[in-house]
């Protein structure tokens, strides 16, 4: 099928208004939240699951790749059209179709914004637990694709723990449900396989998500430290005391300096590190837990411990944390965020290594991360216009990920592999592991047209991956 024939078929499916071809229209889809970019050829915006299925069928007849896209907030290049083809935006599938509070679930379309689910049920005393830092902008479909987490992952888990079932369009246009409306459906956990597959197995058109009761009491604490080592040790001490906070976040001095400009008066500018700790549950339990956390922080050398007295103070403390990534623009024109994971007990050690890597590559690194579950977010600050700086940034990022794996951790906790980390997946898996995963993918997408060039290294040789720490697909530019 010629390109013109494909375009005519897509136009007939979605209409002229929702088919984008001109450079000035498609350029806004060339990048997600990562530093990777590739110009799309065709962008389509279907309005329902039926149109998604017809677009997939047309693409199959033409042999064209399909790149599903949500809100474009992903941080690993997962929505970048590295091999051209069709970018299929799910932004118009943005309805909450059903709220069933008796059974504690909602059925939503993939373009629904994460935070809007909780807003819709807040007055009834419920919430949707997965809360990425971008929850005011990121979509449920993107969260499903990347198995996204967030600050409250420590207590509630990641997206896969809250998705009961998904309706998906397969490579031949068939629409099927994986999982259902109840937990632990009999048979293979195909929904669990699909969540976190990064758009390589099909396209989500609906998701049945678990809703949770709002906790009776929530207490939030800010601890200020003059030494980063003391803050990281406190994280270990809090969990060692048997306390499982709903959230346990950490920011270093460089991050604090940015947040202090974006949200003045929340965090002291001269602090070396701050911890944001939140506990939830029954009032009696949270009062005991927050006082115990306070004691541990003070014993570990915190110079100040501030417990939010009301909801307004709590929201202000969280506002600083939620805006930390956006505030990086106050420090440098560009930043490259990593997403490695280490055991909590190795946090003090890994933070020293991150600082050493920054010195080795002559780069500033601002750290803001989910300390409770060891999920690091080192933000490597740089200027893409400076000759040679991007190369040093990529090498530094690779060194951080290798250090995380060497410490017994992983190369990603919530951002996914995408384009950014596919060359490093061999640090975790050997060639037999990767081939087994590739076989699972081929069951769903035998021609490899869904989100090609993502997730798996090319070639799929573990040794080859280790020899080439960073590979960029042809046609991709940064």
Condensed to tens digits (0 to 9), the pLDDT of residues 23-55 reads: 999 999 999 999 999 999 999 999 999 999 999
pLDDT confidence of residue 95: 98
Measured from the Cβ of residue 285, the count of other Cβ atoms closer than 10 Å reads 15
Per-residue pLDDT tens digits for 144-189: 999 999 999 999 999 999 999 999 999 999 999 999 998 877 889 9
Strands 42-44 and 175-179 turn out to be unpaired
Helix (H, G, I), strand (E, B) or coil at 220: strand
What does the pLDDT read at residue 468?
Answer: 37
Angle between helices 347-360 and 389-406 (to 10 degrees): 160
Q: Where are the domains positioned within the chain?
A: 3-89, 96-213, 217-328, 332-467
pLDDT for 475 equals: 43
- Does the domain at 3-89 match CATH 3.30.43.10? Answer given as yes
pLDDT, tens digit, for every residue of 130-156?
999 899 999 999 999 999 999 999 999
**Residue 144: C-alpha distances to residues 161, 162, 211 (Å):** 11, 10, 15
- Position 471 scores a pLDDT of 41
Q: From the options 1.20.120.140, 1.20.1250.20, 3.20.20.100, 3.30.70.2740, give the CATH code of 332-467.
A: 3.30.70.2740
Give bridge partners of residue 67 from the DSSP assignment. 87
Q: What are phi and psi of 221, to 5 degrees?
A: -130, 140
CATH class of the domain at 96-213: alpha beta
What are the DSSP E strand ranges found in 370-408? Answer: 378-382
Residue 212, pLDDT score: 97
In sequence order, which residues have a C-beta less than 8 Å from that of residue 473 and are 6 or more positions away? Answer: 82, 83, 419, 453, 458
Domains 3-89 and 332-467 agree in fold: no
Low-confidence ranges of the chain (pLDDT < 70): 459-478
Residue 182's contacts (CB-CB under 8 Å, 6 or more residues apart) are: 164
Which helix (H) or strand (E) segment holds residue 161: the answer is none
Q: So what's the architecture of 217-328 in CATH?
A: 2-Layer Sandwich (3.30)
- The mean pLDDT value of the chain amounts to 93
């Amino acid at each position: 099928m010629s390109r013109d024939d494909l375009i005519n078929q897509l136009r007939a499916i979605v209409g002229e208004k929702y088919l984008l071809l001109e450079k000035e229209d498609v350029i806004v889809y060339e990048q997600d939240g990562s530093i990777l970019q590739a110009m799309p050829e065709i962008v389509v915006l279907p309005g329902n699951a039926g149109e998604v299925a017809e677009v997939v069928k047309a693409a199959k007849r033409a042999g064209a790749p399909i790149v599903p896209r949500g809100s474009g907030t992903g941080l690993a290049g997962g929505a970048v059209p590295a091999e051209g083809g069709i970018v299929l935006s799910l932004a118009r599938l943005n309805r909450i179709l059903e709220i069933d509070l008796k059974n504690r679930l909602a059925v939503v379309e993939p373009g629904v914004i994460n935070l809007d689910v909780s807003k819709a049920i807040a007055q009834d005393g419920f919430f949707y637990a997965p809360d990425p830092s971008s929850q005011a902008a990121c979509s449920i479909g993107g969260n499903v694709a990347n198995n996204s987490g967030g600050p409250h992952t420590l207590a509630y888990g990641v997206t896969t723990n809250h998705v009961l079932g998904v309706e998906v369009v397969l490579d031949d246009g068939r629409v099927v449900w994986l999982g259902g409306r109840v937990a632990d459906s009999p048979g293979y956990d195909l929904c669990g396989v699909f969540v976190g597959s990064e758009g390589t197995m099909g396209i989500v058109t609906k998701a049945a998500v678990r809703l949770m009761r709002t906790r009776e009491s929530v207490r939030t604490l800010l601890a200020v430290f003059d030494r980063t080592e003391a803050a990281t040790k406190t994280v270990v001490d809090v969990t060692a005391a048997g306390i499982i906070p709903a959230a346990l976040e950490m920011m270093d001095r460089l991050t604090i300096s940015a947040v202090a400009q974006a949200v003045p008066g929340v965090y002291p500018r001269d602090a070396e590190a701050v911890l944001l700790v939140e506990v939830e549950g029954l009032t009696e339990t949270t009062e005991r837990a927050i006082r115990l956390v306070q004691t541990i922080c003070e014993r570990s050398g915190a110079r100040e411990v501030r417990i939010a007295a009301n909801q307004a103070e709590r929201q202000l403390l969280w506002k600083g944390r939620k805006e930390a990534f956006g505030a990086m623009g106050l420090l440098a024109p560009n930043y490259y965020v990593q997403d490695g994971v280490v055991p909590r007990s190795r946090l003090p050690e890994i933070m020293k290594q991150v600082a050493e890597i920054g010195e080795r590559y002559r780069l500033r690194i601002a750290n803001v991360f989910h300390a409770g579950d060891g999920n690091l977010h080192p933000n490597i600050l740089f200027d893409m216009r400076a000759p040679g700086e991007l190369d040093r940034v990529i090498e530094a990022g690779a060194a951080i990920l290798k250090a995380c794996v060497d410490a017994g951790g992983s190369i990603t906790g919530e951002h996914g592999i995408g384009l950014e980390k596919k060359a490093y997946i061999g640090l975790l898996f050997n060639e037999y592991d990767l081939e087994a995963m590739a076989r699972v993918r081929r069951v769903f997408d035998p021609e490899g047209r869904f989100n090609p060039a993502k997730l798996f290294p090319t070639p799929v040789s573990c040794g080859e991956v280790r020899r080439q720490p960073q590979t960029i697909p042809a046609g991709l530019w940064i």
